[in-house]
Amino acid sequence: MTDNDHQLSGEVLFEIPTCTNVELLSERIRPQWAGWAILEGDVWIVAAELSDDPSDLAALLRQVEAYVADTGLQAIRYRLDGCFHIMEAPALEHAA
């Protein structure tokens, strides 16, 4: 195994339900993360390119998590390094 086997790919793909949601996500993550969007079947794919900064992935995922919460989506699926993951909106705190 080489050091390259442990490096992240340079791109994260997010599955987004509607064109309006694509626009909202793109406004939130661009221009910090370059990328593209395309409709594949009935799902929009939004790509974000990562920099070499080790904290870049965490910053991107925090922005997307906030987008999921702000738009009222329950969850979205994303792909990183060939594996699919689910990002859920943060749980709302209920008043006691």
CA gap 25, 66 in Å, rounded:
10
Burial of 81 (0-12, 13-18, 19+ CB in 10 A): exposed
Give residue-wise pLDDT tens across range 46-73.
999 999 999 999 999 999 999 999 999 9
The DSSP call for residue 74 is S
pLDDT digits (tens, 9 = 90+) for 78-95: 999 999 999 998 776 554
Split into its structural domains, the chain has a count of 1
pTM, full prediction: 0.84
Assess whether the previous peptide bond of 54 is cis (omega < 30° from 0).
no
Residue 79 in domain: yes
In a domain, 94, yes or no: no
Cα–Cα distances (Å) from 88 to 29, 76, 85, in that order, read 18, 7, 10
Residue 95 lies in a domain: no
Please answer whether residues 49 and 35 qualify as being in contact, where contact means their C-beta atoms are separated by less than 8 angstroms.
yes
